[in-house]
Structure 1
Amino acid sequence: MGLLTSLKDSITRVTDGLFASEEPKRIGIYGPPNAGKTTLANRIARDWTGDAVGPESHIPHETRRARRKEGVTIERDGKEVTIDIVDTPGVATKVDYEEFLEHDMEKEDAVRRSREATEGVAEAMHWLREDVDGVIYVLDSTDDPFTQVNTMLIGIIESQELPVLILANKIDKEESDIQRIANAFPQHETIPLSALEGQNMDEVYEKIAEYFS
């Protein structure tokens, strides 16, 4: 009887382990170009894994393909969540090659980059509709959030019933206006931060563990 009980307990532990384990949730980092998405993705990845996701740049549309960092485990206040970070290209209604010319690029290179960025936007939209379990939406708190792109993306996120965390980035800048972000999307909580300086990242991690666990 003791042997049967021990065997039964072992099977139960294995079965419980199988059903308890879950695939990491895919969390897409979305927002307009140059909002600081890659800077945030790198900050999160470095803090919890020691590795970066991709190169950062002041040039718009530097991220032209979605980049993924898998198995990032975040722990806060007794909550733990393991996520795959998906750093997506900045979404814009139109990518004009002239934007790149302003950064001293040759026309041929600028045209190539604009084409790649347009393809990246399409890829980001595909990820949003098909392949993410939640969204971190990054906005530059020095810019006007009332844009067609932001309204469209938040609408799609809501229609997909995805959990979304809105971050007002770049609070290290003097012209930052957090309340303007909060007023734009009052149905969602807005968390201020500076991904570049690491300001308020503790609260960001608390909210990530809360929203996506």
Structure 2
Amino acid sequence: MTFLVRTKQKISQFLKTFFRKRSSRIGIYGPPNAGKTTLANRIVRDWTGDAVGPVSEVPHETRRVRRKENITITGNNGNSVTIDIVDTPGVTTKIDYNEFLEYGLEKDDAVKRAREATEGVAEAMHWLREDIDGVIYMLDSTQDPFMQVNIMMVGIIESRKLPVLIVANKNDLPDASAARIKSAFPQHPVISISGLEGNNVEELYEKMAGYFG
């Protein structure tokens, strides 16, 4: 009898583990140098003490998708969500090796970086089609949000019916304008933050816990 009880318990535990829903995969998307990796690092550090990867002023520092798993975010109101953060390469409609020459890279290195960045964009789009459950779309709030790549990407995200938060980053800069981003994407919630300084990230966490939960 004891053997049968223990066997049933083991089977029950196995089934619970096997059918347990995986953490939601939340992709951080946006154009190059919007602050995606800076935000990913802040989220991961705040909730696990770890980090995702390096940042740089040179475009396309992130050229491969990077993921940190099982990050539990809890809002002040008690809502919580466990997610995998997926940091993606900056998406753009064109990658030219000449833009890297402006940052002092040699031609061979610039060509290599452009090729890797192009491959990274393709990888990011594959993840969006197959493996992403929700999106943080990151925008530099000092820049024009009506760029073709932003309109295209938000449209693709909407076509997949994914929940999306628009993050207006770099609100620590004097020419930042979250209002301009809200006017571009009024159909989605927009949260103004500074990923670098940490301004307003608590509001972002609160929204993530309720929105992606």
- Please give the alpha-carbon distance, in whole angstroms, between the structure 2 residues aligned to 1:51 and 1:78: 23
One-letter amino acid of the structure 2 residue matched with residue 207 of structure 1:
K
RMSD (CA atoms): 2.1
Q: Which residue of 2 aligns with 1:73?
A: 72
Aligned structure 1 segments of 4 or more residues deviating by more than 6 angstroms: none
Percentage of identical aligned residues: 66
- Please give the alpha-carbon distance, in whole angstroms, between the structure 1 residues aligned to 2:186 and 2:142: 18
Q: Which residue of 1 aligns with 2:54?
A: 55
Alignment of 1:128-147 (within 5 A): 128-147=128-147
Q: CA deviation at 1:80?
A: 1.4
- Please give the alpha-carbon distance, in whole angstroms, between the structure 1 residues aligned to 2:87 and 2:13: 35
Q: CA deviation at 1:87?
A: 0.3
Number of aligned positions between the proteins = 208
- Please give the alpha-carbon distance, in whole angstroms, between the structure 2 residues aligned to 1:43 and 1:136: 14
**Per the alignment, in what secondary structure is the counterpart of residue 82 of structure 1?**
strand
| Unpaired stretches in structure 1, ≥5 consecutive residues | none
Q: CA deviation at 1:123?
A: 0.6
One-letter amino acid of the structure 2 residue matched with residue 138 of structure 1:
M
* TM-score using structure 2 length: 0.92
* TM-score using structure 1 length: 0.92
- Please give the alpha-carbon distance, in whole angstroms, between the structure 1 residues aligned to 2:161 and 2:72: 24
One-letter amino acid of the structure 1 residue matched with residue 83 of structure 2:
I
Q: Which residue of 1 aligns with 2:28?
A: 29
| Unpaired stretches in structure 2, ≥5 consecutive residues | none
**Corresponding position: 1:196 with 2:196:** yes
- Please give the alpha-carbon distance, in whole angstroms, between the structure 2 residues aligned to 1:194 and 1:208: 16
Deviations along 1:145-200, one digit per CA (max 9) or x if unpaired, are 00110001000000000000000000000000110000000001100000000000
**Per the alignment, in what secondary structure is the counterpart of residue 46 of structure 2?**
helix
**Corresponding position: 1:115 with 2:115:** yes
Q: Which residue of 2 aligns with 1:46?
A: 45
Q: CA deviation at 1:20?
A: 8.7
One-letter amino acid of the structure 2 residue matched with residue 118 of structure 1:
T
